[in-house]
Homo-oligomer: A and B are copies of this chain.
Amino acid sequence: MASIELRLEIEDLYTAYAATLDDDDLDAWPDLFTEDCLYQVIPRDNFDRDLPLALIRCESRAMLRDRVTAVRETTMFEPRYVRHLISNIRVSSETDGVIEAQANYAVFETMTDAYTRVFNVGRYLDKLVREDGRLLFSEKRCVYDSVLVPNSIIYPI
């Protein structure tokens, strides 16, 4: 079992992750990843069958920053709020400084003048490393349950 301190530190990272997205603080979002990170948003059907096709695939922090710019500049993107509930976090393994962690998530979406609805649920399959004393995501896979997504997902999950 991971130490209590480490577990709480991992929880804090997930909470910071949720907060940057929920607060629309997108500029801070790439800072939660390592420089050469992998970030994927992939449907469960593909992931389970080892099919590589993902909705989003970024292979560095620089690509995450591009993504943020794209979200900011997409005029087609109707304003909305997102809200993450991340729970059932677990540490699967810890080898050579790489922590494998998983969590279940539900993202709720609220468009202007509309009721809140379930937007996307699934699980995070992540790798975490420590850099300059801080935990960061070196890999983050958002494996979502539904093949269908309401609107194109361009906002990070």
Contact = CB atoms under 8 A, between A and B. Distances in A.
Interface of A: 1, 4-5, 7-9, 12, 14-16, 18-19, 22, 44, 81, 83-90, 102, 104, 106, 108, 110, 112-118, 120-123, 145-148, 150
B121 A83 contact: yes
Contacts of A86: 87-88
A106 to B, nearest CB: 6
B145 A121 contact: no
Nearest to A148: B115
Contacts of A85: 85, 87-88, 104, 106
A12 B9 CA distance: 16
Contacts of A113: 147-148
B22 A104 contact: yes
**Max chain B C-beta neighbours (<10 A), residue from A1, A104, A120:** A104
Contact of A145 (B1, B15, B83): B83
Contacts of A12: 1, 90
A87 B150 CA distance: 24
A115 B117 CA distance: 11
A84 to B, nearest CB: 6
B123 A106 contact: no
A42 to B, nearest CB: 14
